Structure 1
Amino acid sequence: MLIDPVAEKINLGADSSQQVNHVFVFLEIFALEGGIQSYVKDIFRAYLSLGAGYQAEVFLLRDSPNCSNPFEGDSLRPIDGHGLKFYYFKNQSPQMGRITMAGALLKYLLQNRPERVFCGHIKLAALIQTLCQPLGIPYTILTYGKEVWQELPKRERRAIAAANEIWTISRYSRDQACAANGIDPNKVRMLPCAIDGDRFTPGAKLPELVTKYGLTDAKVIMTVARLWSGDIYKGVDVTIRALPKILQVFPEVKYLVIGRGDDQPRLAQLAQDLGVSDRVVFAGFVPTEDLIAHYRLADAYIMPSQEGFGIVYLEAMACGIPVLSGDNDGSADPLQDGKVGWQVPHRNPEAVAAACIEILQGKDPRCDGQWLREQAIANFGQAALQQQLLSLLERGQGTGDR
């Protein structure tokens, strides 16, 4: 017996006369904030902009109807039928939630036969294969970063091998996943992260923030990152180690670190041991809506990291701030292989210091804030994402054995 969702706003038998193009299945989008969730929301914005003929049903395993969902409402489903419709399956018992969603999804696939199913996380891939493959319904697996960079369990590797396509955010993420799991690179398509150029804009440094962080007359370098002991690859410690050499040339430099986590005490101790604790400002957590004003405090965005992509680099560039990244990760895409920023060995304080000094001197063309903004928006703005998504959807039409 198939189990229907219990939330009153869900009606899986509704209006089967409408053509349903696609189904998306995700772990969660609205209950948490993070890189994956922001990426998915950008995809939804792009999908909604495609217009008539594109309608998707979205199944959410860990979200509930009580989550704040900016995409839900009659205004997003015009009379031509296009838009997004959401089904929620959060349950106090994770196992029961998964069973309920699996039953509801199978019923929906049998009744509506969508053109394609998009699996939004590798942890759902085996379930999607089990439901779609016997019905001949093509499916695409969306990947983000390190969740597919190591060898996966056999069930998930089989699900990837059987997928019609795999979408990922960068060349680096593609290469890591393919090497770890024997994936055919020809099956992988790029759908990179996007920047909202209407939100992230250049502007003056707010005096109240300058005063709050003690940045008067300072040259400010900045990092936005989680300060977790498991995320030392973000390179905050490397930047702190680079500070003594930077200060020899720019004694007015201060390093503004935005983020929180259990690694902060170690980083603070490192700054003290190096004699630069008065140059490092730990701002703690900053809400998303306040980040733009904080980016505007920076004279340089410095994060010698190992990223799957690195949306923060685009955010900084859209605000007109020059950027530094690692030289062997997904940041090669937003930095256009060094065309619009500095790429250095990510664990090398000397290289970070030398590049940071170049940025603060401001003579390099890559310091031109207006040009940086134009580059970021032209290649990774919402319009670019919309075009890339449309191209992928059109390319995938008619795939499979149906």
Structure 2
Amino acid sequence: MPKKLILFTLQTFSTTGGIQKMTRTLGHALHRLSLKNNWLFEFWSAYDQPDDLMDQYIPKETFRGFGKNRLRFVMKAVSRSLQPQMVVLSHINLAVVGLLIKFINPRCSVWLIAHGIEVWRPLSFFKRSLLKSCDKIICVSNYTKDQMIRRHHVPPGLCHVLNNAIDPFMKPPEIFEKPQALIDRYALRQSHPILFTLTRLASTEQYKGYEQVISQITHLKEKYPAVKYILSGKWDKAEGARIKKLIAANGIGDQVIMTGFIDERELTDHFLLADLFVLPSKKEGFGIVFIEALTCGLPVICGNADGSVDAIRNGELGLAINPDDPEQLRNAIIENLDNALTTDKRRYLQAQCIRHFNEHNYMQKLQSLLTE
């Protein structure tokens, strides 16, 4: 058992994304386990400012934010390297920190969290060295574990799967009604069939599959003339221009609504607004957005070529399709829209998702990994 444990992170509270959300939940779980087991726990962030902390996850006295002063972050981490019995690195970009700690304090147990594309590619010398020095590699999905073994020849016994959990501070909705405020904002009607995608729209990451959905709207509106596709997420200039051009080329400007960034406080309402969540991505490490959608009782279509299948429990909670097969995508959307989304179905999906991806289960698995 670790008597002193430090979680080293890059950026957790000052921005929002899958890795950031996962790290918040991990930090909260480690804090609770430390209280339970009488461990000393610290949470260090290289890029967050001290004031960025969301103290519902961890208390202020546990947190250290270095505000992008990476050199100071590394120097402080090395100077403390003799104290912890265990460190957890939230990202492989912290490889140098892990290697220095292991060099100075070989008895310190070093763990790495492996998410997705950051470890599904050729790695630098330092990152490869870290993989050889780690005591455990915690993979967020079975797909990521397979990639670590196949691409980097990591011994299978070193890799452990710990699926992501629902954010402990996400409140599951109790009433399943489409929010009138959003219907008014987007000039919709209660009767409109609504598809929803929430993801980062980046010109450097054209693997999310939303352009595949856009290409199917032309066909879908023949069967569902009132269909709407809400595409949400911050975009860069190049990707915004590309997507808008694609929408215009397909003549579906009246069907597609690009909302831009959605504040987390409105996230649940957007899931309630929709009838189906669609993200046929090819490179999701896990896909926290899928379990967020399911927590709101929203059916999910994802890709079958990455870690998304863990989030839907291999088809138990959603439908995984070939992201390169437009006809399969279209048929999956039609199948869902043809079967009305009832309150009972929403409640069932919500209950099953919470049953499998709750923080209690997550903490139990984490406790087992820490004490085995």
Cα 1:364/1:60, change in 2 over 3 Å:
closer
Q: TM-score under structure 2 normalisation?
A: 0.90
Partner of 2:81: 109
Cα 1:70/1:180, change in 2 over 3 Å:
same
CA contact 2:18–2:289 (8 Å) conserved in 1: no
Report the number of matched residues.
361
- Matches of 1:102 and 1:277, distance apart in 2: 49
- Matches of 2:260 and 2:43, distance apart in 1: 34
- Matches of 1:285 and 1:28, distance apart in 2: 18
- Residue 282, structure 1, aligned to residue 282, structure 2: no
Give how far 1:364 is off: 9.9
CA contact 1:72–1:86 (8 Å) conserved in 2: no
- Residue 166, structure 1, aligned to residue 166, structure 2: no
Question: 348, 370, 378: which one pairs with 2:325?
Answer: 348
Which secondary structure does the structure 2 equivalent of 1:147 belong to?
Answer: helix
Question: 232, 243, 252: which one pairs with 1:267?
Answer: 243
Partner of 2:349: 372
- Matches of 1:388 and 1:132, distance apart in 2: 25
Q: Output one character per residue of 1:114-137: Cα deviation in whole Å (capped at 9) or x when no partner.
A: 221112221222331222244221
- Matches of 1:371 and 1:250, distance apart in 2: 26
- Matches of 1:104 and 1:269, distance apart in 2: 48
Partner of 1:54: 39
- Matches of 2:93 and 2:167, distance apart in 1: 29
- Matches of 1:61 and 1:220, distance apart in 2: 40
- Residue 235, structure 1, aligned to residue 209, structure 2: yes
After superposition, the CA RMSD in angstroms is 2.3
Give the aligned residue type for 2:24: K
Higher mean C-alpha displacement, 198-207 vs 208-217: 198-207
- Matches of 1:180 and 1:186, distance apart in 2: 15
Question: 336, 339, 363: which one pairs with 1:362?
Answer: 339
Partner of 2:97: 127
Deviation >4 Å, runs of 4+: none
CA contact 2:18–2:287 (8 Å) conserved in 1: no
CA contact 1:168–1:192 (8 Å) conserved in 2: yes
Question: Percent sequence identity over matched residues?
Answer: 28
CA contact 1:317–1:372 (8 Å) conserved in 2: yes
- Matches of 1:70 and 1:35, distance apart in 2: 19
Matches within 5 A, 1:20-31: 20-31=3-14
Q: Output one character per residue of 1:175-228: Cα deviation in whole Å (capped at 9) or x when no partner.
A: 223322222222111222111475132521111211221221211011011222
Give how far 1:88 is off: 3.1
Question: 207, 212, 215: which one pairs with 2:188?
Answer: 215
- Matches of 1:72 and 1:258, distance apart in 2: 26
Q: TM-score under structure 1 normalisation?
A: 0.84
- Matches of 1:178 and 1:152, distance apart in 2: 14
Structure 2: give runs of 5+ residues left out of the alignment. Answer: none
Matches within 5 A, 1:295-334: 295-306=271-282, 307-334=284-311
Matches within 5 A, 1:176-215: 176-196=147-167, 199-201=171-173, 203-215=176-188
Give the aligned residue type for 1:269: K
- Matches of 2:66 and 2:298, distance apart in 1: 42
- Matches of 2:290 and 2:230, distance apart in 1: 16
Which secondary structure does the structure 2 equivalent of 1:256 belong to?
Answer: strand
Which secondary structure does the structure 2 equivalent of 1:109 belong to?
Answer: coil
Give the aligned residue type for 2:178: K
Give the aligned residue type for 2:147: Q
- Matches of 1:89 and 1:254, distance apart in 2: 44
CA contact 2:78–2:97 (8 Å) conserved in 1: no
- Matches of 1:377 and 1:360, distance apart in 2: 24
Q: Output one character per residue of 1:306-339: Cα deviation in whole Å (capped at 9) or x when no partner.
A: 2111111111111111110011111100111112
Partner of 1:39: 22
Give the aligned residue type for 2:81: L
